[in-house]
């Protein structure tokens, strides 16, 4: 009779949880994709709010990555990694997401402010020709 150490059992269990999380994420995201497609979310949002992006894909991907993240946290807990380290990992991920958002909007925000300024001051009206450096 072979006696396995506690560490080997934890590693095997963690691996199985990881595989189950990956499979579950793919299956549930495919189900969510079908439900959202049936509900015609993209058509409704395009009609009501003039949104031209695929909201279905964004929602499905966010859902899938949340399941991946939950599976990864479960695996780390199974391996016995302290929750302090998990909190640090979560904090790093949040900081990275905030940096990505700030970098995505760094050019957009000044354009938005300029647009509001032009709109409020009425210095440029619809149909005006703008000449810059002779062009």
> What does the pLDDT read at residue 86?
75
pLDDT at res. 104: 82
CATH number of the domain bearing residue 79: 1.10.287
How much is the pLDDT for 28? 96
Residue 64 pLDDT grade (very low, low, confident, very high; cuts 50, 70, 90):
very high
DSSP state for residue 80 in the 8-state scheme: T
Q: How many domains does the chain have?
A: 1
In a domain, 127, yes or no: no
* pLDDT at site 5: 84
The mean pLDDT of 9-37, rounded to a whole number, is 94
pLDDT value for 135 = 62
State which residues form the domain around 69: 6-121
pLDDT for 2? 64
Burial (0-12, 13-18, 19+ Cβ within 10 Å), 29: buried
In a domain, 20, yes or no: yes
Q: Decide if 1 is inside a domain.
A: no
* Structural domain includes residue 130: no
pLDDT tens digits, 33-59: 999 888 888 888 778 777 777 888 888
Let me know if residue 129 belongs to a domain: no
Classify residue 35: in a domain, yes or no: yes
Would you say residue 14 has pLDDT above 90? yes
Phi, psi of 4 (to 5 degrees): -90, 145
Q: Judge whether 32 lies within some domain.
A: yes
Q: Mind listing the pLDDT tens digit for each residue in 74-133?
A: 898 888 888 787 788 889 989 999 999 888 888 878 888 888 888 888 888 888 888 888
Asked if residue 133 belongs to a domain, the reply is no
Residue 70, number of CB atoms within 10 A of its CB: 13
């Amino acid at each position: 009779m072979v006696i396995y150490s506690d560490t080997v059992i934890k590693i095997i269990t963690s691996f199985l949880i990881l595989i189950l999380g990956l499979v579950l994420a793919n299956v549930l995201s495919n189900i969510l994709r079908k439900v959202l497609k049936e509900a015609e979310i993209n058509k409704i949002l395009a009609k009501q709010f003039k949104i031209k992006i695929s909201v279905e894909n964004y929602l499905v991907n966010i859902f899938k990555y949340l399941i991946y993240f939950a599976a990864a946290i479960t695996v780390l807990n199974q391996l016995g990694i302290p929750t302090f380290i998990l909190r640090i990992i979560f904090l790093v991920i949040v900081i990275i997401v905030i940096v990505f958002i700030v970098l995505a909007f760094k050019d957009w925000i000044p354009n938005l402010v300029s647009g509001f300024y032009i709109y409020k001051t009425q210095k440029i009206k619809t149909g005006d020709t703008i000449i810059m450096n002779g062009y």
